Amino acid sequence: MFELPAVAQTAQDRIASVGLEGRIDVCAGDAGADPLPAGYDAFLVANLAHYWSPEQNRALLHRIRDVAAPGATLLIADFWTDPTHTSRSRPP
């Protein structure tokens, strides 16, 4: 898990409280600026893309590709909004 520091700390605390700290790595940082952890074979970008501009998202995907293990899987889970970001976009 890669999250902003305050959220990462909360996650770390919750993970430890249920005894899963040996199974889940938590990395604190800014996904738009800080080095991403290398060597993982799957990346899930969950509910972040809709916050960011196309340029920020492209840059993030390039940075993930730079650190991904060969053959790694990328999953993007998100929802799309209308241009005002106040409601979900409608299917065409």
Ligand X SMILES: C[S@@+](CC[C@H](N)C(=O)[O-])C[C@H]1O[C@@H](n2cnc3c(N)ncnc32)[C@H](O)[C@@H]1O
Q: How many chain residues bind ligand X (CB under 6 A)? A: 9
Determine if 76 is a binding residue for ligand X (CB under 6 A).
no
52: buried, middle or exposed (CB in 10 Å: 19+, 13-18, 0-12)? middle
Reduced 3-state DSSP string for 12-69: HHHHHHCCCCCCCCCEECCCCCCCCCCCCCEEEEECCHHHCCHHHHHHHHHHHHHHCC
Determine if 46 is a binding residue for ligand X (CB under 6 A).
yes
Choose the stretch contacting ligand X; rule: CB under 6 A; options: 2-10, 17-25, 62-70, 82-90.
Answer: 2-10
Determine if 60 is a binding residue for ligand X (CB under 6 A).
no
Site for ligand X in 13-32 (CB under 6 A): 30-32
Determine if 49 is a binding residue for ligand X (CB under 6 A).
no
Determine if 48 is a binding residue for ligand X (CB under 6 A).
yes
Judge contact between 45 and 24, C-beta under 8 A: no
Where along the sequence are the contacts to ligand X (CB under 6 A)? Answer: 3-4, 7, 30-32, 46-48
